[in-house]
Amino acid sequence: MILTDREIQVFLANRQIIIDPKPIAIRYSSTSVDLTLAKQFRVWDFNQIDKTRGEVIEPGPKFKYAEFRDKYTKKKILTNKGYVLAPNAFILAWTHEKIVLLNHSKIAARVEGKSSLARLGLAVHVTAPTIHAGFEGHLQLELCNHGLFSIRLTPGMPICQLIFEMTLGTPDKGYSGKFLRQKK
């Protein structure tokens, strides 16, 4: 079941869901709440990438994404002038709001794009929208401009929406240490 705006606010009031800072009234729709763009983002460092033409990423057991990201991207800060995302450009960004979904709250969520931006060609994630029960942190966004025109991104702009869903039951980790399953 998807939470409506009323239930989202009840869950926020009871601290079963935490969104910090709390969204203002205009950020809600009937079944979602908008989150905004943080100032920090990372762009790909093409000087570095050009040095390794032909390198193949092997996302197996030894792959270290954070090291890969730190090597091939550069940290940027979004000013009030904004950042122009060119067609076909792809950057890593975050939501300004921090999200906490407590294990025992029986809540999971999905981050999705906003239709107003989608129509321009802006995607906010690459096929991984699920926010699992127990999540804590700022949501990382994979912003990609699939459109024909450049799009100016500004700090604090509504960038994505969160849809909350109730889970059927509590996951194993919600019982951690109490009813531990024994193997064999």
Partner 1 sequence: MSRVKAKIVRGAIGSERVAYITTAGGVSAEVILSATQTGSNHVLVAEVARDNNNVLIELPQETSSGDWRVWINKNQILPE
- Catalytically active residues are 142
The residues, any chain, with a CB within 8 Å of residue 168's CB and separated by 6 or more, are none
**Residue among 43, 46, 117, 120 at smallest CA distance from 83:** 43
Which letter does DSSP use for residue 174 in this model? G
CB atoms within 10 A of CB 129: 16
What is the nearest approach in angstroms of partner 1 to the Cβ of residue 178? 10
Q: Which is nearer to partner 1, 31 or 154 (CB)?
A: 154
Q: Which is nearer to partner 1, 63 or 149 (CB)?
A: 63
What is the nearest approach in angstroms of partner 1 to the Cβ of residue 133? 10
Parallel, antiparallel or unpaired: strands 90-101 and 136-145? antiparallel
Q: Which is nearer to partner 1, 121 or 171 (CB)?
A: 171
Instruction: Write phi, then psi, for 70 (nearest 5 degrees).
Output: -65, -30
Whether 127 and 163 have beta carbons less than 8 Å apart is answered as: no
What is the nearest approach in angstroms of partner 1 to the Cβ of residue 113? 21
Residues at the interface with partner 1 (CB under 8 A): 38, 40, 42, 59-67, 69-70, 73, 75, 92, 94, 98, 103, 132, 134-138, 171-174, 176-177, 180-184
Whether 123 and 88 have beta carbons less than 8 Å apart is answered as: no
Q: Which is nearer to partner 1, 74 or 146 (CB)?
A: 74
Would you state the structure tokens that stand for residue 13, as one six-digit string?
A: 């009031």
Task: Name the helix (H) or strand (E) containing 22.
Answer: none
3-class secondary structure for 70-91?
HHHEEEEECCCCCEEECCCCEE
What is the nearest approach in angstroms of partner 1 to the Cβ of residue 132? 8
